[in-house]
Amino acid sequence: MRTPVWLLVWLSIVAGKLAAGEPVGLRAESFLVPPSTGPLVSVDVKNLQDVPYQGKIGMKGPEGWKITPEYREVSLKPGEVARVTFAVEEGRNTPGNRYPVEVSATGGGRTVTRRQDVVVASAPYFKPAIDGNVKDWKDAIPVTFETGGKKTTISTYWNRRQFAILVAVEEDRLVRADQAQVFDAVQLAVSPADAATGTSPNDEAERFEFLFLAGEGGKGKCFQLAAPGMKLAEAAKPRSLGTFAYEDADVAVSRKDGVTYYECAIPFRPMRDRIRPSEGREFRLSVLVHDPDGTGIRDWGQAAGLWPCQRNPLAWSKWKGARWGEKPPFDNKVEWGLCSSQY
């Protein structure tokens, strides 16, 4: 008996839908120390089904690397997320700080694979001069990503008193707040490693959030937009910046050869109870670059491979002078670390 054509068509449609819907989401996290030091690396696994999932998670590094064990077993409830860890036993550093990896999940008769370029996201120990001269940043570990054909590079340092960040923004022009109603800025969020972003406006923020702007003559301004304990509903309101000036930060903004450099240092003192400055410390960090007359918002969370479901309208504070896109940015909690040096 021949199978009816309509049934064949229906079966092909169902098969296509099943093939299109992956059972799990995968993401390799950034390295927190250089690969040559033999770090532990993590893979995030999310069950995307409404039924339990059991499988084996594997990870491969660049050619010549040795990552163990061969796989990790997971058992996930519907919607559950697990973090599984592997060890880099043999790895090599590269000058470009970009490492192609492949993560896979095998279970339920299917194998899901995701290829990513991951980076070392870590701050070496050093105290730079915040003076508009970026020569002090040569021993940082730069993280570069591209948005709309323009590069953004994030470099970080730490010392016992300050956390310092340099954000180099390739852009056609710098628009200051005294030049237009909508202007350029860099937004930074720093959180403890165990912090989470709430999903209800009544939840409290678990982040320290800052905004850096350019001023005249290479000067910069800092505003503190959020701190732990603040209601997310309050942070989500577009607020004028005047009352949020943060005088304890050092900021310098310079521009050379089509690149704007936001150089900033914020004190650890208010964060010390939640993020203690010490070698090997893991925490969470993300950056939004506001380039309204160019690429729009550049989001490190997106470049770091966060899942689409991790866009969260409560993850970042709103402020007057920004131009937000149709979709909210990704979550502000991307892994970062403190290390002794880049070597």
What is the sign, positive or negative, of the torsion defined by CA atoms of 303, 145, 104, 55? negative
Q: pLDDT class for 9, splitting at 50, 70, 90?
A: very low
pLDDT number for residue 2:
44
SS3 label, residue 70: coil
123-338 has which fold? Immunoglobulin-like (2.60.40)
Asked whether the bond before 69 is cis by omega within 30 degrees of 0, the reply is yes
- Which residue type sits at 325? G
Write the CB contacts of 311 (distance below 8 Å, at least 6 apart in sequence): 327, 328, 329, 330, 331
Question: Residue 158: pLDDT above 60?
Answer: yes
Q: Return the CATH architecture of domain 23-118.
A: Sandwich (2.60)
User: pLDDT > 90: what percent of the chain?
Assistant: 91
Average pLDDT, the chain: 93
* Alpha helices for 118-268 (secondary structure H): 232-235
d(CA 46, CA 23): 9
Do domains 23-118 and 123-338 share one topology? The answer is yes
Give the mean pLDDT of 25-46: 96
What tokens does 255 get? 């521009």
Comparing 6-20, 27-41, 78-92, the range with the smallest average pLDDT is 6-20
pLDDT number for residue 103:
98
Segments making up each domain of the chain, as ranges: 23-118, 123-338
Give the mean pLDDT of 44-73: 97
d(CA 65, CA 90): 5
What tokens does 136 get? 């002090």
Q: pLDDT class for 17, splitting at 50, 70, 90?
A: very low
| More confident of the two residues 7 and 285 | 285
Question: Residue 300: pLDDT above 50?
Answer: yes
Q: pLDDT class for 337, splitting at 50, 70, 90?
A: very high
Give the mean pLDDT of 261-284: 97
Q: What is the pLDDT of residues 193-218, one digit of tens each?
A: 999 999 999 999 999 999 999 998 88
